[in-house]
Structure 1
């Protein structure tokens, strides 16, 4: 069951869009548990990718959208 949940999370987190904040909150809620490190690490990698996309794109609209998505995830997860 754990492997199935990990695969589902790995598939859905990078494409979560507006749900990223809610998923981040859930991941951070269980991050301290015995096997919660997987989700925390996956969330960290996803947020780094979003921030990297914002930094690398020359379009300020894309930069703003990516930055807002990352900040929303952190804000909602805190």
Structure 2
């Protein structure tokens, strides 16, 4: 499904993050009026696949995402 105009791009999600600060999906969903949790999670997973963001699974339903300090200069 193509991205809807009101949905954030992976780059917009990345720009909304502070390096070394851990986020869960709901932290970032709050920053966008019309984005669903699923959309933001897909954007984060794209950033993980591209090596821009790190991901750690804590429990079955709890995952943290963060930009490492080495990526903050990009």
Structure with more of its chain in strand, by fraction: 2
Tell me whether the two structures share a fold, i.e. TM-score over 0.5.
Answer: no
Structure showing greater Rg? 1
Q: TM-score, normalised by structure 1?
A: 0.36
Structure with more of its chain in helix, by fraction: 1
